Amino acid sequence: MPDTRRLIPGLLGPSRAPIASRRQTARQWHTSPDSMVAWGWYVDGVRQEGIGLEAATEHARDGEGFVWLGLKDPTDEDMASFVRSFHLHPLAIEDAVEGHTRSKLEQFDDTLFCVISTVAYVDHESVTATSEIVSTGQIMAFVGENFILTVRRGENTPLRTLRHSLEAAPEELALGPSYVLYKVLDRVVDSYLHVVGAFDDDIDEVEEDIFSVHGTTGIDRVYNLKRELIEFKRAVVPLALPLQALSTRSYPVVPDEVRAYFREVADHHTDARESILSFDEVLSTILQAGLARVSVADNQDMRRLSAIVAILAVPTTLGAVYGMNFDHMPELHFRYSYYIVLAAMVLGMLAAYVYFRHRRWL
């Protein structure tokens, strides 16, 4: 049976460090107030008050509950404290400080490192060429046996109320740090589904505009919507692999009773991903239809211009013929030649007009 005193991944040896050594580690703790959003020490799912962060960390090392720390946009100096306290891997720290563009899941010893891309819907009156429809951010989670560290980057990270809702359900928090990771992922995937619903409304609006009888041919709106959808897809689709791994593979920090929760999140994520892929196909079809309407409109304009030129060619031709200064021309000295030529011009133009109207060129 493993020694329960070995609680924090990366600590050397199974035995507890001496008290003086642990106090020295506590004194090294340094976190900027700007990056520290919230923290809590939870024993059996209940938050413990009246104790400092350093002491709570020591108790967690001793097997008493776990610590949940939340940071936002930390610096190198901020993260250095957590490297010393939890022995986090340098590569994971680099991603937490500089950010990572894709969702992923990595295991360093007994610590899980998960990067989660977040998406928020930006309210707008209509879809224009300059509209911002989705805004992205990131959450990075370090999950150990007795701690979880969440790092938020950007403003669109849906964790503001998660801690309070979990603290109201101690029986859920008692499941440990891996359950907190599940709730983070669940909150993020729920935000995906919210954006999917709002995106669907925007697509319906553009589709109605393109295919209506008096609709515009502003395909720039369709292009802008497709561009925002690509950004949305880049944030959502890569999360499928981490969720699949969490729901099917065995990790030391994820108990079997928690793994089932990740399967539920994976199912919801599949719904969001399939909706996004269907949106991509619909927008491609709308874009092609919009381009076809533009082409048809251009052809119609060319027909009108061609019909007008053909109508004007009748008087131009007659005028050019009788404008030649030859002495011997038929009907040149006939008294009614002028009126006959004018009548021929009018009749020819009327005949061309009737013909082009019948062909729907005018």
Q: How far is CA 303 from the centre of its chain?
A: 44
Q: Is the pLDDT of residue 25 over 50?
A: no
pLDDT at 54: 81
Give 2's pLDDT tier (boundaries 50, 70, 90).
very low
Give 343's pLDDT tier (boundaries 50, 70, 90).
confident
* Pair 170, 44: CB distance under 8 Å: yes
Task: Work out the average pLDDT over 307-333.
Answer: 77
pLDDT at 8: 33
Q: Is the pLDDT of residue 249 over 60?
A: yes
Backbone angles phi, psi at 160, to 5 degrees: -65, -35
* Pair 65, 42: CB distance under 8 Å: yes
Is the model more confident about 16 or about 161? Answer: 161
Q: What share of the chain is helix, strand, coil (3-state, %, to 5)?
A: 55, 15, 30
